[in-house]
Structure 1
Amino acid sequence: MKAHKGFTLIELIIVIVVLGILAVSAAPQFINFSGDAREATLDGLKGAMNGAARSVYAKAAIQGEEDSSSYVTVSGVETVYGYPTALAAGITAALQIETADWDIAYTDNSDPGSTANTARFSPAGINDSITTTDHTTITECYVEYIDVTTAGNFPAISVVTTGC
């Protein structure tokens, strides 16, 4: 009798199917696609904030409002020192974003030009108990926009990806 060497086609197909099932069930444990997507979204929002702030500043400079330490509306956007304020009428209006897609929290110090307001934007559903008056309720996975307090400075924009 002749000895057979190798595997039959059925055995090979069964092994491939079992490996496929293992790969499909194990891959999501090692790859965090949703976290990467949220981080990319935050980076995109930061870029949009940079662009919106520069665009609004250019419009404010044309109107001669770039040195104003009080709130001035430029093209429908509330500004201080020519840049959008960290308020709904400021950076949020400049971005023209769909606010339902974001959890947004602001501080309103009501003292333009000397005390910086802060706005934090987080993808909707990441942070719980969001209020619009206390930016500290958004503690992870956000973009932070801080007002300008002196003429000639650019707003501080930073990204925190912890918890994404």
Structure 2
Amino acid sequence: MKTQKGFTLIELIIVIVVLGILAVTAAPQFFNFSSDARVSTLEGLRGSMNGAADLVFGKAAIAGVEGDANDGATTPAYITVDSIEVVYGYPAATAAGITAALNITPADWQIAYTAATGDPGDTATSVRFAPAGTIPTADFSAADHTTVDECYVEYTDVDDAGDRPTITVVTTGC
């Protein structure tokens, strides 16, 4: 009788199938695709914010309002350039400011402001954008930016003429 050396074809196929199943189930543990995608999305939004802010500032400079914080009324009201609210020439941290300048789909983002935004007299100073679904709906409040505390891009208004808006990316929790 001959002694068998090595694997049979059936045993080889079974080993390959088992290794394939293990690889498919273990791969997501090593490759965090969703986190990387969220971080890339946030970085892309930061770039879009910089570009939109520069374009709006250029339009404000042409209109001669790049040095004005408001329209000079008793109740501060934003100056508008092409229907975009501006502060010192850059988009304001409001729905009609940076959010309008970005021309994004609001359903793709959870957007939270530091103050109510329906009234031009409200002085929001920053707005946070988080990818949709990052924060559970029950915990999210558009009027309170503290509900967005992880995985977001924050746009902060300009304080003085000649300054640029501050755009911060926070990737913890993505």
Superposition TM-score, scaled by structure 2 size: 0.87
1:124 aligns to what?
Answer: 132
Structure 2 SS opposite 1:162: coil
Give distance in 1, aligned partners of 2:50 and 2:171: 18
1:10 aligns to what?
Answer: 10
Give distance in 2, aligned partners of 1:117 and 1:108: 8
Determine if the alignment matches structure 1 residue 88 to structure 2 residue 98.
no
2:159 aligns to what?
Answer: 149
1:162 aligns to what?
Answer: 172
1:68 aligns to what?
Answer: 68
The percent identity for this pair of structures is 65
Give distance in 1, aligned partners of 2:52 and 2:90: 9
Paired residues of 1:49 and 1:91 also in contact (CA < 8 A): yes
Residues 41-72 of structure 1, C-alpha deviation per residue, up to 9 Å, x if partnerless? 11111110000000000010011110011121
Deviates more, 1:99-108 or 1:125-134: 125-134
Residues 105-159 of structure 1, C-alpha deviation per residue, up to 9 Å, x if partnerless? 11138576xxx70100001121232222221111111000000010111100011
Within the candidate set 100, 104, 108, 1:101 is matched to 108
Matched residue type, 1:108:
A
1:76 Cα offset (Å): 1.4
Query: After the TM superposition, which parts of structure 1 deviate over 4 Å for at least 4 consecutive aligned residues?
Result: 109-112
Structure 2 SS opposite 1:103: strand
Give distance in 2, aligned partners of 1:5 and 1:111: 82
Provide the alpha-carbon RMSD of the alignment: 1.6
Paired residues of 1:127 and 1:139 also in contact (CA < 8 A): no
Where in structure 2 are there 5+ consecutive unaligned residues? 71-77
Give distance in 2, aligned partners of 1:8 and 1:108: 71
Deviates more, 1:44-53 or 1:125-134: 125-134
Provide the aligned length of Structure 1 versus Structure 2: 161
Where in structure 1 are there 5+ consecutive unaligned residues? none
